[in-house]
Chain A
Amino acid sequence: MNALTVAGLTVGYGAIQVLHEVSLTLGGGTIVTIVGANGAGKTTLLKTVAGVLSPWRGTIALHGEEIGGQPSYRVARRGLVLVPEGRGIFGDQTVRENLLLGALARREGRDQDSVGADLERCLGLFPALRDRLHGLAGGLSGGQQQMLAVARGLMARPRVLLLDEPSLGLSPLFVRQIFAAIGRLRAEGLTILLVEQMAAQALALADRAYVLERGRIVLEGTSAEVRENPMVLHAYLGRTDNGKEAR
């Protein structure tokens, strides 16, 4: 059974329709990435799957159970966790408190030992957070807040993790670290839906990819297929037709 199945999803804001009949599937333990320009509807798609927005039409099934239209907190408790664009960290609480709040959504392993172990694991993934563990999250730099947001998402022990631009605002060194961390999470069996402007890195990591243009899926396939598609090469990977870097 697929970890996540989205079928015919249509949604918008007010009178403006953003997504048109979007369908996609995530196999368990795979990484699927969505490639698309700014404004194509990638963030809207993630928000709708996570229950932040209500779909106009279409279905969303998590491990075969329909979750479309459910509020986001209930979706999170079922194991689908969104790390939103713009981070949404709790600035008035410490880094540690932020991480512990992430554990609230989990259904099992709520005892102190399990939570503590997961905390250690997250700090292992993002050592920069360890130095600031007892400082206020609002005092972190932008990039550190991004790491905290991802780590807090992991604290929920998600079955499916939605990542919206996890590399946003990270230094080159940390970009590589965060992509490496995402790869390790997949190896541990986590299913990940990844939206990322760094399309080349995302495609290198993903198993499957979908290209979203103006709210419609225009291309799908294994990430190798998508990566070799001339349109994708040109529009999203910044390469000219003869395969040379555009800049």
Chain B
Amino acid sequence: MVPALWAGLAVLAAALPLLTGNTYYIYVASSVGLLTTVTAGLNILVGFTGQISLGHAGFYAIGAYAAGVASVRLGLSPWLGVPLAVLVAAAVGAVVAGAALRVTGPYLAMVTIAFGIIVEGILVEWVAVTGGPGGIFNIPKPPLAQAYWVILAVAALSLILVANLRRSAWGRALLAVKGSDIAAEALGLSAYYVRIVAFTVSAGFAGAAGGLFAHLNGYISPDSFGLQTSILFLLALLFGGEGRVAGPLFGSVVLTVLPEFLTTLTDYRLILYGGLLLVSIYWLPQGLVGALAPRRGAARGRRGEQEQKNRGAGIPAERARDDAPRRNGAGAQDADKALLTVEGASLAFGGVAALANVSMEIPVSGIRAVIGPNGAGKTTLLNALSGFYTPDTGSIRLNGMSVAGRTPYAIARLGVSRTFQTTQVFGGLTVLENIAVGVAGPRLGSVLAALAGTPWARRADETVLRRARSLLDAGGLGEWVSRPADALPAGLRRRLEIVRALATAPRLLLLDEPAAGLSPAEIAELDAYLSRLKATGGPSVLLVEHHMDLVMAVSEHITVLDYGRVIASGTPEAVRANPAVIEAYLGAAA
């Protein structure tokens, strides 16, 4: 039904020039198309990666002037000029992104405002190319109906490209970076790189709209490309619904048509924008599309839970076998070789020693545990091993290669995966998509193929999703497939994190308090699960945990930290009997 609705809408839009000879209507409809194209691209940056740009009028301007210069000064046809506009805007976007995305959030918004102002300044000052304040005249104008049809086609194409992107590995990576950039990095994604790509692509969309705008108008000047225009772009997106594929269309219709009804109030346009922004923040936090769409997940209810419970042990053995890391083939024969070696690692925060001369070895298989009082440095150790911290002194070697000082995503790509004490699920993605981010890791393919939705890219993606699905079923999360991950109860979020970490097929899995917040029954499941993982040739596991019965049951070797120092190390039995450990950690009656 919904596709039919879209088709009907498209036919109606295409038929507009045949239905009315009034050029004003067609011109307004063209403006809707241009705004839709820009906001569809902006949606990739704002809606998917959660970064705000208030400088997209700059890219719109670059597209318009590139097309204008190409046709007026170089005599190129619009069919070459507009694609050229896309390339120029995207190229500038990539350069700006490389510099600007060193910062994120409100700082990025500030930097992009500065970018917009600089572009505006250049348009005014660089008279030889841009014509200065007067702009560029006599840009070839095709007949209005033709221009409209091209703009309409580009706007529709933009929405389709963004819909393709959302469904692809790239789309999931963008939303993962928005949801939790540290978790994305721990799965091998460079958040910086992913954001640069999003910024570049969105600049390209703005460039396309700018190029079309030049040919629609036949005249461009710096006045059209100020901060107010950037604000309009962002507002149309927020009002329509950021992160929603159809959001840009709805927002563009309202934000273009409404001011036309109120032409007598042109002077108050900014007040209107401000009012609409407040309306959308108060009453439409998900935008128009979010308010109109049926609530997701409502129908699914909580049916899964009881079935979940009834299934008892929950995580069948196939799961671990399926997961046996491909890179870890050698397995048993070099079991006594160290996978990871820490030597004399020390790390201090503001004079407090979080790690003091810590040395330990992690073999290529089996389960090791790190225990210690709260604040002993256990999580700091995991952060150092996974690249989130760099030790002040000492070395960390993975298979003999020094990894201290490498980025988290580089270490993740070397086969170190982890979970977090405070769970870091990607809230904007479903449970299945969360795992698919882990399966794909940094192997995202070409972003252009993802936009185009090429059959090859789709097939590759189906393989990823199939594998994610089998991991998810085997991990006992089958009932929750299409639930938004942030709607999961705490215990299942922990399970999702473990399954997602294993989806990268790691050689070393770091678990930070996986049993925290789990019920005794769930801890028993986790115990069985870890044991099975070990028995079926799973990755080497380093477990930080306070539930001593779990630690005692699954680990072969325990390291005890206190005040950042290793105070004991050995078999579970030896550690449990160690007076220093009883004193510092277990307490008398353990």
Q: Which chain A positions have C-beta within 8 A of B523?
A: 238
In the complex, chain A residues whose CB is within 8 Å of the CB of B586: 172-173
Interface stretch of the complex, out of A23-31, A135-143, A184-192: A135-143
Contact indicator A238/B295 (Cβ below 8 Å): no
Which residue of chain B lies nearest to A141 when distances are taken between CB atoms in the complex? Answer: B375
Q: Is B376 an interface residue (CB 8 A)?
A: yes
Contact B375 A128 (CB under 8 A): yes
The chain A residue sitting closest to B518, CB to CB, is: A197
Q: Which one of A14, A18, A85 has the greatest number of beta carbons of chain B within 10 Å?
A: A14
Q: Does A204 sit within 8 A of B, measured CB to CB?
A: no
Query: Scoring A residues 166 to 191 as 1 if CB is less than 8 Å from chain B, else 0, what string do you get?
Result: 00111111111000000000000000
Q: Considering the complex, which residues of chain B in the window 372-393 have a beta carbon less than 8 Å from any beta carbon of chain A?
A: 372-376, 378-379
Chain B residues whose CB sits within 8 angstroms of the CB of A135 once the complex forms: 350, 352
Asked whether A214 and B421 contact (CB < 8 A) given A144-B375, A247-B549, the answer is: no
Contact, CB under 8 Å: B374 / A142? yes
Q: Which residue of B lies closest to A165 (CB)?
A: B517
Give the number of residue pairs across the A-B interface with Cβ within 8 Å.
122
Q: Tell me the smallest distance from the CB of B512 to a CB of chain A, in Å.
A: 9
Give a binary string over A26-66; 1 marks a CB under 8 Å from any B CB, 0 the rest: 00000000000111000100000000000000000000000
Query: In angstroms, how far is the closest chain A Cβ from the Cβ of B312?
Result: 11
Are A246 and B375 CB-contacts (below 8 A) given A38-B490, A39-B491?
no
- A85 partner residues in chain B, CB cutoff 8 A: 490, 517
State A107–B421 Cα separation when bound (angstroms): 36
Q: How far is the CA of A146 from the CA of B522 in the complex (A)?
A: 22
* A235 CA / B310 CA spacing, docked (Å): 11
How far, in whole Å, are A175 and B513 apart by their CA atoms in the complex? 15
CB distance from B579 to the nearest CB of A (A): 14
Looking across the interface, which residue of chain B has its beta carbon closest to that of A198? B520
Residues of B contacting A246 with CB < 8 Å?
520, 524
Residues of A within 8 A of B488 (CB): 39
Residue from B352, B378, B523, B546 with most neighbouring chain A CB atoms (10 Å): B546
B298 cross-chain contacts in A, Cβ below 8 A = 14-16
Question: Among B295, B302, B349, which residue has its beta carbon within 8 angstroms of that of A139?
Answer: B349
Chain A contacts of B309 at CB under 8 A? 37, 235
Interface residue from A15, A143, A200, A215 paired with B374 (Cβ < 8 Å):
A143
Closest-CB distance, B46 to chain A (whole angstroms): 23
B150 to chain A, nearest CB (A): 41
A38 near B522: Cβ-Cβ < 8 Å: yes
Classify the secondary structure of A's interface with B: loop
Partner of A39, one of B305, B589, B590: B305
**Size range of the chain A interface in the assembly:** 35 or more
CA distance A236 to B522 in the complex (A): 9
Q: Which of B375, B489, B519 contacts A143 (CB 8 A)?
A: B375
Q: Which of chain A's residues have a CB closer than 8 A to the CB of B492?
A: 38-39
- B515-529: contact bitstring with A at CB < 8 Å (1 yes, 0 no)? 011111111100100
B548: chain A residues within 8 A (beta carbon):
172
Residues on the B chain within 8 Å of A39, using CB: 302, 305, 488-489, 491-492
Which of A18, A132, A141, A174 has the most C-beta atoms of chain B within 10 angstroms of its own C-beta?
A141
Interface contact B379-A141, CB-CB below 8 Å: yes
Most buried by B among A13, A16, A86, A197: A197
Contact B546 A199 (CB under 8 A): no
Alpha-carbon distance between A236 and B349 when the two chains are bound, in angstroms: 40
Which residues does chain B contribute within 8 Å of A162, judged by CB atoms?
Answer: none
Flag whether B306 is at the interface (Cβ < 8 A).
yes
A15 touches B379 (CB 8 A): no
Q: Choose one: A171, A214, A238; the contact of B524 (CB below 8 Å).
A: A238
Let me know if B399 is at the binding interface, CB within 8 A: no
Cα–Cα distance between A135 and B352 once the two chains are bound (Å): 10
Instruction: Write out the residue numbers on chain B whose beta carbons fall within 8 Å of the beta carbon of A237.
Output: 520
Inter-chain contacts of A142 with B (CB < 8 A): 374, 379, 421-422, 513
Is B374 touching A171 in the complex (CB atoms < 8 A)? yes
Chain B residues in 8 Å Cβ range of A143: 373-375, 546
A residues near B489, Cβ cutoff 8 Å: 38-39
Q: How far is the CA of A33 from the CA of B587 in the complex (A)?
A: 25
With contacts A38-B492, A247-B553 taken as known, whether A15 is within 8 angstroms of B513 at the C-beta atoms is no
Q: Mark B574-586, 1 if CB is under 8 A from A, else 0.
A: 0000000000111
CA distance A144 to B352 in the complex (A): 15
**Nearest CB of chain A from residue B483's CB, rounded to whole Å:** 10
Residue-wise, chain A 5-28 has the 8 Å CB interface mask toward B (1 for contact) of 000000001111010000000000
Partner of B518, one of A13, A38, A146, A172: A38
| B464–chain A nearest beta-carbon distance, Å | 28
In contact, A171 and B372 (Cβ under 8 angstroms): yes
Q: A38-B489, A139-B349, A171-B585 are in contact. Are A199 and B519 (CB under 8 A)?
A: yes
Interface residue ranges of B548-583 to A (CB < 8 Å): 548-549, 553
B522:A172 contact, CB within 8 angstroms: no
Name the 5 nearest CB pairs between A and B, nearest first.
A143-B374, A38-B491, A238-B520, A39-B489, A15-B298
Q: Offer 28 A-B interface pairs, CB within 8 angstroms, sorted by A.
A: A14-B297, A14-B298, A16-B297, A16-B301, A16-B302, A18-B302, A37-B491, A38-B491, A38-B492, A38-B518, A132-B375, A142-B379, A143-B374, A169-B513, A171-B372, A172-B546, A172-B585, A173-B587, A174-B373, A176-B587, A176-B589, A197-B517, A197-B519, A199-B519, A199-B520, A215-B302, A238-B521, A247-B527
Interface residues of B (CB under 8 A from A): 295, 297-298, 301-302, 305-306, 309, 349-350, 352, 371-376, 378-379, 421-422, 487-492, 513, 516-524, 527, 546, 548-549, 553, 584-587, 589-590
Chain A residues near B (Cβ < 8 Å)? 13-16, 18, 37-39, 43, 85-86, 128, 132, 135, 139-144, 146-147, 165, 168-176, 197, 199-200, 214-215, 235-238, 246-247
- Give 15 new A-B contacts, CB below 8 A, not counting A39-B491, A247-B527: A14-B295, A16-B298, A37-B491, A38-B522, A39-B489, A39-B492, A85-B517, A128-B374, A128-B375, A135-B352, A169-B374, A169-B421, A170-B546, A173-B373, A238-B521
